A and B are shown apart, each in its own frame.
Chain A
Amino acid sequence: MTILSLRSVSKSFGALKVTDDVSFDVQPGEALGIIGPNGAGKSTLFNLITGNIAPDQGQVFLDGRDVTRTPPMQRVVAGVGRSFQIPQPFGDLTVYENLLVAARFGGGMGGREAGLFCMDILDRTGLGAVAEKKAGGLSLLQRKRLELARAMATRPRVILLDEIAGGLTDGECVELVATIRAIHAEGTAIVWIEHVLHALNSVVERLMVLNFGRMLMIGAPDAVMASAQVREIYLGIEA
């Protein structure tokens, strides 16, 4: 059974159609990449999946269950974890506490179990050393890592990652890819929006292209990247 599926989902902001009749499925444990130019509606698509934004038309299904009207917190408990493109840490809480909230609420874990679980994630995402620092004082790079770590702490079965590789050095990017691969290897489905195509394509099994809110193409990364249409859109951004 599909873990996540969208059926003819549309959303407009005023006259601007940001999501236009989008349908696709994500299988359990699958890794799907999403690319598209700035303003194509990628982040909006995530907000529709998580319930932060309600669609004008269409349905969202989790495990075959219609969640179109389900509020965000219940979707998290149901297994959808997400990171924000612009990091939204709990600034007055420590980095460790940021994860603890996620594990105790979204992950439904008890206090003792959650503590060790969160420390393990912090170590894996390179945040162990700043565990007791206030999240408000982190650098942008660390905030992005925190977004990933906090999403992991909700114990998702499908994790939505929104541009977490931007601005990394080559070494950091390799580390990030290794972390995401490890999440994938544990059987978590991944949907990853990314402009850094080489990082993205080294993880995902399928690639979707969004343009002006429409799904232009979805398929194997090689085939998608080879398409003339996609090359045209991405000309000059990155090969």
Chain B
Amino acid sequence: MSRSLAPLIALFALAVLYALPAIAPRAMVQDLFGILTLLVLAMNWNLLAGFAGLVSVGQQAFVGIGAYAMFAAIILMGLDPLVGVVIGGIAAAIFAIPMAFFAFRLNGAYFAIGTWVVADIARLAISQWKALGGGTGTSLPKGTAKEMAFVDGIKEMLDVSTAAAADALTYWLMLSLAVAMLVASYVFLRSRMGLGLQAIRDNENAARSVGVDPLKLKAAVFLLTAFATGLCGALAFIQITRVTPDAAFSVIDWTAFVIFITVIGGIGTLPGPIVGVVVFYALQRALADYGTIYLIVLGCLGIAVMLFARRGLWGLFTDRTGIDPLPLRHRPPRAATPSHSA
């Protein structure tokens, strides 16, 4: 039953999500945009920490650099915001190279702290960038949204204001980025490199002894996730329209929440971040009136999951039911011939 139904449900959900700007109020589109942003960040962090064993607490560096590169592309170079997003991704990936040289010398907790420190140095350095407002930040020039590619067309199609059309566009792009991340993660993890990563996760020493180069694979994941995180950060700040060093390099917004989401949903599982982000959203809605209580509940839930369900809610679900729509297992090409000795 699940085998034929799951893809149908997923397709239906996806269709509804894509149709949303046409049928739902703008506030909801903006809400979901924020959630999708967290989902993309969580999928990236999950690849890093859950599969490559790189527990980074410095992902805000890539969000911030992506955002600032996008602002620089618009304000200083007069480029289209969407081109700015791509530049944001590339800038983050370039920044990841020296960052990797530094952080990869560190292990475990030191790696985590090292990435955090680098991210904060990046924040301080960006605060010195006077052309982009220094410590107080800057806003997108008036009319940026209106001049953005496709916005006119969307405006006509949906019959909405320019601002709503820009929201719809960024929403669709973020949704597409999330889908692309999911597909790319699945393909990557099932590839030769993904298999090598899973071997490293189990036993790094043995992995080396069968020819896997841990440093190479981890560096590849670090650079690729930096790129995607940079894209995501740049896209997020088109919608926010205003950037400051503190907001763009916020460890709480761009890394802490993301860690909770991934841990609750299921670290090291492909659907984990999706489950986590749904729980996060539900909690946020249910407890919105209670202010910080919602953060406390989130924290407690995160700790409970770490203690009692190492593979999160998704891990619990697959263990109980055996259902796994996105299996990473490699199946043998044929059944084994019956063995006399086994």
Q: Which residues of A contact B (CB under 8 A)?
A: 50, 52, 71-73, 76-77, 82, 84, 88-94, 96-98, 100-102, 104-108, 111-112, 115-116, 118-119, 122-123, 126-132, 150, 153-154, 172, 175
Are B195's CB and A101's CB within 8 A?
yes
User: CA–CA, A91 to B201, complex, Å?
Assistant: 10
The stretch among B26-34, B162-170, B203-211 that forms the contact with chain A is: B203-211
Are A90's CB and B199's CB within 8 A?
yes
Query: Could you tell me the distance in whole angstroms from the C-beta of B200 to the nearest C-beta in chain A?
Result: 9
Are A105's CB and B209's CB within 8 A?
no
The contact of B333 among A71, A101, A115, by CB within 8 Å, is A115
B196 at interface, CB cutoff 8 A: yes
Query: Could you tell me the distance in whole angstroms from the C-beta of A211 to the nearest C-beta in chain B?
Result: 27
B interface: dominant SS:
loop
Are A52's CB and B209's CB within 8 A?
yes
B142 at interface, CB cutoff 8 A: no
Are A116's CB and B212's CB within 8 A?
no
Are B201's CB and A73's CB within 8 A?
no
The contact of B199 among A101, A115, A127, by CB within 8 Å, is A101
User: CA–CA, A81 to B272, complex, Å?
Assistant: 36
User: CA–CA, A94 to B213, complex, Å?
Assistant: 20
B334 at interface, CB cutoff 8 A: yes
Known: A129-B336, A131-B332. A100 touches B195 (CB 8 A): yes
B192 at interface, CB cutoff 8 A: yes
Are A90's CB and B207's CB within 8 A?
yes
Are A111's CB and B210's CB within 8 A?
no
Are A93's CB and B333's CB within 8 A?
no
Which residue among A82, A90, A119 has the maximum number of chain B CB atoms within 10 Å of its CB?
A: A90
Nearest-CB residue, chain A, relative to B203: A88
A interface: dominant SS:
helix
Known: A72-B209, A76-B211, A129-B342. A97 touches B330 (CB 8 A): yes
Binary CB contact string for chain B from 316 to 342 against chain A (1 if under 8 A, 0 otherwise): 000000000000011111101111111
Cβ contacts under 8 Å, A108 to chain B: 211
Q: Which residues of B contact A (CB under 8 A)?
A: 192, 195-196, 198-199, 201-203, 205-213, 329-334, 336-342
Nearest-CB residue, chain B, relative to A129: B342
Are B209's CB and A128's CB within 8 A?
no
Known: A76-B209, A76-B211. A90 touches B202 (CB 8 A): yes
User: CA–CA, A153 to B209, complex, Å?
Assistant: 12
Are A102's CB and B205's CB within 8 A?
no
Are A89's CB and B206's CB within 8 A?
yes
User: CA–CA, A50 to B210, complex, Å?
Assistant: 10
Nearest-CB residue, chain B, relative to A135: B202
User: CA–CA, A122 to B342, complex, Å?
Assistant: 11
Are A96's CB and B330's CB within 8 A?
yes
Are B195's CB and A131's CB within 8 A?
no
User: CA–CA, A96 to B198, complex, Å?
Assistant: 14
Are B212's CB and A73's CB within 8 A?
yes
User: CA–CA, A131 to B339, complex, Å?
Assistant: 11
Are B198's CB and A104's CB within 8 A?
no
User: CA–CA, A80 to B331, complex, Å?
Assistant: 27
The contact of A106 among B210, B329, B334, B337, by CB within 8 Å, is B210
Q: List 7 A-B contacts (CB under 8 A).
A: A72-B208, A84-B209, A88-B203, A89-B203, A107-B211, A115-B330, A154-B211
User: CA–CA, A100 to B199, complex, Å?
Assistant: 10
Known contacts A93-B199, A126-B341, then 12 further A-B pairs from the complex at CB < 8 Å, ordered by chain A residue: A73-B211, A73-B213, A88-B203, A89-B203, A90-B198, A90-B203, A92-B202, A94-B330, A96-B332, A115-B330, A115-B332, A119-B332
